[in-house]
Structure 1
Amino acid sequence: MSRQQVLEAARARITAEHKATFEAEGVVKVSGAVGDDWIERVLEVADKQLREPGKWVSDTNPGASSNRLFTTRYRWQEDPVIGGFVFDSGMAQMAAELMGSSSARFYFDHLLIKEPRTANPTPWHQDIPYWPFMGKQICSSWVSMTPVTVAESSLEFVRGSHSWDAYYAPESFDGSKGFMADFEGEKMPDVEADRASYDIVGFDVEPGDALFFSSWIIHGSPGNAGDHRRVALSTRWLGDDAVWYPHPGCDPIVSDDDTIAVAGEYPADDNRFPLVAA
């Protein structure tokens, strides 16, 4: 198939049932969203990044083959595999369909690796306060490159929390303050301490399965209790109602100095936030 046919097929994969689930629950699983070719290439990138990390890396136990949480971001302009995935995998088209948006602009890529027997959980959090955007049509695509159960650190979500109209203050995952001290929002509830009070849904996934979820939904993942590596690639997508909203506590990697986007307006910056689906 041509590239255009691949992207059209990706958009057509999203059914009315997918859309209804995403709207009601804030998260939906799309099985087999990408094929073996992407899986193999992204796994190669993961191996290389562990050996030769990029600039925007977090690594809890460098060099270890277990008990290690490693993430790397903003690789799309430097790594042809990640860049190709952004533009050619169909994630943008699926995201636009699910968000009910006529378009999807790309924000950033996030490669996440948990080695076997990694104790570190990903704490319960909401994405939107960490990002310099505001809007309801903002989402992530989290594509697993390995088979993963919830016990092996697949994602869990508080179903429907994207519609609570709540905005939680960002905090660093190590328990310290966020990127800046004077952040906005209320304190994140301690979901883990009171799981029975929340409607929690988790997803076991196979390689190529994608979880699409709203930037407003509360989510997290446990440590990796399994014996194999967990690798996933997230891409973040901006829909029609997204506006540029830099604020205290948000990710400082892209700021007013890096974009022509104007605060409070749609981020029509094709260099920094390219239009991938329209």
Structure 2
Amino acid sequence: MTFIEDFKKPINYISILLAILGIASGFFFYLNSKKNKVISYNITEPSSLIYDSKNSSSAIKVIEKDSIPIKDNVYILTGTIWNSGNLPVTNEDVRQNISLNLSGTQKILDFKIIKQTDPDIAKFNLTKINNKSLGLSWKYFDPDYAFKFQIIYTGNENPGFKLNGKVLGIKVFKKVNAAEKIDYRVMMITAILGLVIIYFSATTYIKADNLIRSRNIENKRVRYLMRLMVALLIILVILTIVLIVKFYNNLNNTIPFS
């Protein structure tokens, strides 16, 4: 019996399929167990207009704390910042203070944290640095800890929000766009369907190959179709692995308080 004939045994097909699925699942669990620090943020875009300086009634006026009238449009920006990694971010990890910057604004009028995880423990705090920046501090920033904030400012509808600072073990802060998120249940169902399709495709190929061999069919077109089926099967396996990775990444992109 040649190597090719031995390779074509159904039990070997099944073994190879199980090996590929084992690699895929092993890769997923490897990603899940990998230790990393990740600070993610999400900003609701565009900002909400709360005062239209051009179309508001002359009877309505907005003033600052020092009684100076505001003559520009006033917007409110809402965002969330959270630890999406599996390691805590300590104050000792901060190499350069973290700040929230709104480059497209004229002036930050007010700000506040409206919700946070374990407020008595995390103690997230925002302080004003200047008219376009806020400083961020905390006591504990553990995995899954998060806070939601609001900033009222004058300026543009899109304020050019950016999270700045340097943290040990974090190269960049991860921006998560809600519009790009995919329901993890849909992804999980799709992955399961992919595995089912792979299984039935493999068994169909084995049955067709056995039928061809038993009847000594040497038609070149049939052999071409068989090779095409193998190629499609490999592509399905690769796509399923990619989907598993995306499923893992999507789990880490879940926006708190949303």
TM-score (norm 2): 0.26
Structure label with greater radius of gyration: 2
TM-score (norm 1): 0.25
The structure whose residues are more often helix, as a share, is: 2
Q: Which has the higher contact order (CA 8 A, sep 6+)?
A: 1
